[in-house]
Chains A and B, each alone.
Chain A
Amino acid sequence: MDLKYLFFYLIFPGFLFTGVVGLLTTWVDRKVTARVHWRVGPPWYQPFADTMKLLGKEVIVPAGSKKTGFLLMPVIGLAAATLASTIIWLANLFSVSFVGDSIVVLYIMTIPAIAMILGASASGNPLAVLGASREMKLLFAYELPLVISMLTTVYKAGSFSFERILAEQASSGIMLGSASGIIAFIVMIMCVQAKLTFIPFDIPEAETELAGGTHIEYSGAPLAVIKLNTAIMFFVLPVFMITLFWGGVSFAGWSILTSILKYVAIVVIIVLIKNTNPRVRIDQALRFFWGPMLVLSVVALVLAVLGY
């Protein structure tokens, strides 16, 4: 195994880069949210300060928990999120790609959610267990429309590899330029909202119902890891969408600016959805994803097959 890949995974574009940009993204989230709320919002370094502080706090492991599973799961989630980010960025920046890497990324990106389910179940707290069961239902709800909306792009590019998808967009225009692309993009934004467990789909955490749900028993360093995990997913998912629908990201010359703009645009859309909706119930979320979202994603796929 090449040492180069270890560098890719740990430093750039892996853990360090993703973590830093992810935390900055949570700052954008907090600042935009604050402005929508007519508040001032925190300074840019607040997420870093929070993470540092949490890392130094005491770690409390509840008496009735399965210790190994409880402490291991956040780390597994973090490793998976970082891996997903590395694969997507390598495809974007260095055209390092392999057949079916989009499928691999799709699978890896479910691991943080599954790790959260296992970690919460291991904590033995009834609210956490309820949160875990909701997380599982939510996972079942959004995965199907997510996969089908990705298939729209895959069908158009004729390949499952990110490299081919990007090449297709470079030669014949971005996916967002077509009707099917726009519909699939809308469906995917909704799925991303659920994947990030943001309002209206923050059902597993539901602060005012479950007091943190899946996170309730975590404290100190494991909580910092979970927060970092969410931050990284908040970075990975928009980039994943840009790669599939919006021509990818690039660091060459002026395109670095357009890449950042695309990214911030998607982040702001997500944050605005988060701030203009109340939380839905789990049955409503299930109905939403298996009803309108599934239909829309199938419509997008059919349109793509018909050539729109």
Chain B
Amino acid sequence: MVKKIPIGPFHPILEEPEFFELHVDGERVVDIDMTIGWSHRGIELLSEHKTWDQVPFLVERVCGICSCSHPYAYVKAVEDLLQIEVPERAQYIRAIVAELERLHSHLLWTGLAGHFIGYNTVFMWTWKYREPVLDILEAVTGNRNHYAMMRIGGVRREIPVEEIPNIRKMLDDLVEKNKMLTGAIVDDPVIHARTEGVGILDKKMCRLYGALGPTARAGGYNIDARRDHPIDAYGKIDFDVIVCENGDVYDKAVVRQLENFESIKIIRQALDKLEALGPGDICTEIGEVPPGEGIGVYEAPRGEVLHYIRSNGGNMPMRHKIRAPSFNNILTNEYSVVGDTVADAGLITAAVDPCYSCTERVGRIDRNSGERWIMSEGDLIRMSQEKTEEIRKMMTGK
């Protein structure tokens, strides 16, 4: 007999509202329904009503964790339109902040994953070790989160030279703690029992669903926007892309843990370069933004984030499109959850490190009847064509 077990819209395993309906036979999941649209905030539309310089602060709020990746991709999109080069010093500062963000994001996930399998000690310890990363971020940017560092043409704040030895010391401590944590995950037999062979997403399926970031790399799909589209400092820094083979939850954890070491490696190199460069300019002044379009791509902790902007020569973006990595990754649950047990379903949905608010698209619901509409491909194409027609009329003034 097939029963329906709801995970969500509000559930302890979800930090944000999202709705998974599991169709289960006993404990085994035979099908899964996913519904998004519970926290749509209309960020893209808001962004089209802000000036170019205000948008970074808005897109920072797309996601509480990727609060550097989204502005990074956005400023790269505008810089792509403007065809300008960022001062070298600013490039390294950008890399440092972005990699610190990856560190704290991956540590946050490891802690949460521990909590999801009931291992609260791992949860608490990981989050304790995450604190120094936030301290460094506070020292560098002034904020623990929402760093407000990115600016079109460069960064907003300098990293003072006297801070650098302190940051290095904290990173050294972090390497030791991360080694211990990785050891604890690799050595624990019960963690192996719970995560190995669970929620497998192999290379073929990664390609098919367009999985991104650690989710794809755990399955052997070797993609990383930092290496594939080296922006700013990433072309000048030496780092490895961690790839595993099996694509189960265990590999997803291992990929993230090992990426922490790579992030520390990148930060150390960038700090070296900063010291070698000496004081200098951190931002290029920009003038008017000409009409045109630009694309910015950056590897956020969860995978490739893409920002597209279109300008009509005014002081605001005319169109701003955001594609967050979780949108691709959450869909992979359709394949990886089915066939596993209810006990694993929550863990598997959490293993892609989902960020539901980033993903949200508008959903349509009738307030009186409670009926929901699902937009077909045809509907969306029609709506998009109508919008394009509207924009064309507006631009040509006809």
Answer yes or no: B390 CB below 8 A from chain A CBs: no
Known: A275-B121, A276-B121, A281-B344. A208 touches B190 (CB 8 A): no
Give every chain B residue within 8 A of A280 (Cβ-Cβ). 190, 193-194
**Nearest-CB residue, chain A, relative to B24:** A130
Answer yes or no: B118 CB below 8 A from chain A CBs: yes
Answer yes or no: A115 CB below 8 A from chain B CBs: no
Contact (Cβ within 8 A) B341 A37? no
Q: Mark A274-308, 1 if CB is under 8 A from B, else 0.
A: 01111111111000000000000000000000000
Interface segment out of the listed B109-117, B137-145, B263-271: B109-117
Answer yes or no: B346 CB below 8 A from chain A CBs: yes
Q: Mark A253-283, 1 if CB is under 8 A from B, else 0.
A: 0000000000000000000000111111111
Interface segment out of the listed A21-29, A61-69, A198-206, A226-234: A198-206
Known: A208-B12, A209-B343. A279 touches B118 (CB 8 A): yes
Give every chain A residue within 8 A of B108 (Cβ-Cβ). none
Answer yes or no: A211 CB below 8 A from chain B CBs: yes
Give every chain A residue within 8 A of B362 (Cβ-Cβ). none
The 8 Å CB contact of B5, one of A39, A130, A208, is: A130
In angstroms, Cα B12 to Cα A283, docked, is 23
Give every chain B residue within 8 A of A284 (Cβ-Cβ). 193-194
Known: A207-B12, A208-B12. A278 touches B5 (CB 8 A): no
A2 to chain B, nearest CB (A): 46
Give every chain A residue within 8 A of B346 (Cβ-Cβ). 208-209
Give every chain B residue within 8 A of A199 (Cβ-Cβ). 118-120
Give every chain A residue within 8 A of B124 (Cβ-Cβ). 37-39
In angstroms, Cα B343 to Cα A200, docked, is 13
A177 to chain B, nearest CB (A): 30
Give every chain B residue within 8 A of A282 (Cβ-Cβ). 27, 341, 343
In angstroms, Cα B393 to Cα A244, docked, is 87
Query: What are the nearest 9 A-B pairs in CB distance?
Result: A279-B118, A37-B124, A278-B119, A278-B117, A281-B343, A208-B116, A208-B13, A199-B118, A275-B121
Answer yes or no: B229 CB below 8 A from chain A CBs: no
Q: What are 14 contact pairs spanning A and B, CB under 8 A?
A: A33-B120, A38-B128, A127-B5, A130-B24, A130-B27, A200-B118, A208-B12, A209-B13, A278-B194, A279-B119, A279-B194, A281-B343, A283-B341, A284-B194
Known: A206-B118, A280-B190. A38 touches B125 (CB 8 A): yes
Q: Mark B181-199, 1 if CB is under 8 A from A, else 0.
A: 0000000101101100000
Contact (Cβ within 8 A) A277 B119? yes
**Count of B interface residues, CB-CB < 8 Å:** 33
In angstroms, Cα B341 to Cα A166, docked, is 45
Contact (Cβ within 8 A) B128 A278? no
Answer yes or no: B41 CB below 8 A from chain A CBs: no
Residue of A127, A211, A278, A279 with highest tally of chain B CB at under 10 A: A278
Contact (Cβ within 8 A) B342 A209? yes
B112 to chain A, nearest CB (A): 9
Answer yes or no: A36 CB below 8 A from chain B CBs: yes
Answer yes or no: B236 CB below 8 A from chain A CBs: no
Answer yes or no: A126 CB below 8 A from chain B CBs: yes
Answer yes or no: B313 CB below 8 A from chain A CBs: no
Known: A126-B6, A208-B13. A278 touches B118 (CB 8 A): yes
In angstroms, Cα B119 to Cα A295, docked, is 27
A64 to chain B, nearest CB (A): 14
Q: Which of A187-217 contact B (CB under 8 A)?
A: 199-200, 202-203, 206-211
In angstroms, Cα B123 to Cα A39, docked, is 12
Known: A38-B128, A281-B194, A282-B343. A208 touches B115 (CB 8 A): yes
A29 to chain B, nearest CB (A): 13
Contact (Cβ within 8 A) A126 B343? no
**A38-B124, A126-B3, A281-B341 known, 13 other contacts, Cβ within 8 Å:** A37-B124, A37-B125, A130-B5, A200-B118, A208-B117, A208-B346, A209-B342, A209-B346, A276-B121, A279-B117, A279-B194, A279-B343, A283-B27
Q: Mark B97-138, 1 if CB is under 8 A from A, else 0.
A: 000000000000000001111111111110010000000000
Q: Which of A123-144 contact B (CB under 8 A)?
A: 126-127, 130, 134
**Nearest-CB residue, chain B, relative to A36:** B121
Give every chain A residue within 8 A of B120 (Cβ-Cβ). 33, 37, 199, 275
Contact (Cβ within 8 A) A126 B4? yes
In angstroms, Cα B346 to Cα A207, docked, is 11
Give every chain A residue within 8 A of B12 (Cβ-Cβ). 207-208, 211
**Nearest-CB residue, chain A, relative to B341:** A281
Give every chain A residue within 8 A of B341 (Cβ-Cβ). 281-283
Answer yes or no: B382 CB below 8 A from chain A CBs: no
B184 to chain A, nearest CB (A): 10
Answer yes or no: B40 CB below 8 A from chain A CBs: no
Known: A38-B124, A208-B118, A278-B118. A200 touches B11 (CB 8 A): no
In angstroms, Cα B114 to Cα A206, docked, is 13
B62 to chain A, nearest CB (A): 26
B352 to chain A, nearest CB (A): 16
**Nearest-CB residue, chain B, relative to A127:** B5
Give every chain A residue within 8 A of B122 (Cβ-Cβ). 278
Q: Mark A9-32, 1 if CB is under 8 A from B, else 0.
A: 000000000000000000000000
**Nearest-CB residue, chain A, relative to B350:** A208
**Nearest-CB residue, chain A, relative to B191:** A278
Contact (Cβ within 8 A) B11 A211? yes
Give every chain A residue within 8 A of B11 (Cβ-Cβ). 211
A162 to chain B, nearest CB (A): 34
In angstroms, Cα B5 to Cα A145, docked, is 32
Known: A37-B121, A276-B121, A278-B118. A126 touches B5 (CB 8 A): yes
B76 to chain A, nearest CB (A): 37
Q: Mark A24-64, 1 if CB is under 8 A from B, else 0.
A: 00000000010011110000000000000000000000000
In angstroms, Cα B124 to Cα A279, docked, is 16
Q: Mark B309-346, 1 if CB is under 8 A from A, else 0.
A: 00000000000000000000000000000000111111
**Nearest-CB residue, chain B, relative to A272:** B121
Residue of B115, B125, B190 with highest tally of chain A CB at under 10 A: B190
In angstroms, Cα B219 to Cα A14, docked, is 57
Give every chain B residue within 8 A of A127 (Cβ-Cβ). 5-6
In angstroms, Cα B118 to Cα A280, docked, is 9
Give every chain B residue within 8 A of A206 (Cβ-Cβ). 118, 343
In angstroms, Cα B120 to Cα A36, docked, is 10
Give every chain A residue within 8 A of B121 (Cβ-Cβ). 36-37, 275-276
